[in-house]
Amino acid sequence: MTPGAAIRIAEVKGFDLVEVSPTANPPVCRIMDYGKYKFMEAKREHAARAKQKNIVVKEVKFRPRTDDHDFEFKVKHILRFLEEGDKVKVVVMFRGREVVHRDIGFRIIEDVLSRVADKCLIEKTAGIDGRDMHAIIIPRPVEVVKKPKAPKPETKNPETVLET
């Protein structure tokens, strides 16, 4: 039908002519209430956004001279972040001449990764970016264990119960 005829029909019914699929050949239009259509589209989009999970990257910084107690404390934080489902960026910061001792940074990151290995997967291994060395780890996916269904209890036929 021609666009003019469709517009006249929409005006008679008190609705709007809305182009639903402009890429189709020929374009698809509908006669509907445009305000209600926009409202329903916004509602559908809001529901889709509510179902999405926001990925948060937590950053834990170490130095080449980080003490043992501080190291343990930061590893506990990393474990907590992983349990909450967040990504963790492990950073070793170098200052001044410390940057020449990159092997210390690699050892620190390897030590962290070995302590949290059972809770995480390595997304990006240790690498240097300017004066910092970093690795990114993500939580292990939770395995869903399916429980076997319990067999249904046998129901007695009412006719057999009455046969006494």
82-138 tens-digit pLDDT? 998 889 999 999 998 888 888 898 999 999 999 998 988 999 988 898 889 999 999
pLDDT at position 154 over 80: no
CA nearest neighbour of 127 among 90, 152, 157 = 90
Name the CATH code of domain 57-139 (choices 3.40.50.720, 1.10.3720.10, 3.40.50.150, 3.30.110.10): 3.30.110.10
Q: What's residue 146's pLDDT?
A: 65
Q: Between β-strands 16-21 and 87-93, what pairing exists: parallel, antiparallel or unpaired?
A: unpaired
Burial class (CB in 10 A: 0-12, 13-18, 19+), 93: middle
CATH 3.10.20.80 residue ranges for the chain: 3-51
Q: Is 71 in contact with 62 (CB distance < 8 Å)?
A: yes
The whole-angstrom separation of Cα 16 and Cα 6 is 9
CATH 3.30.110.10 residue ranges for the chain: 57-139
Domain covering 3-51: architecture:
Roll (3.10)
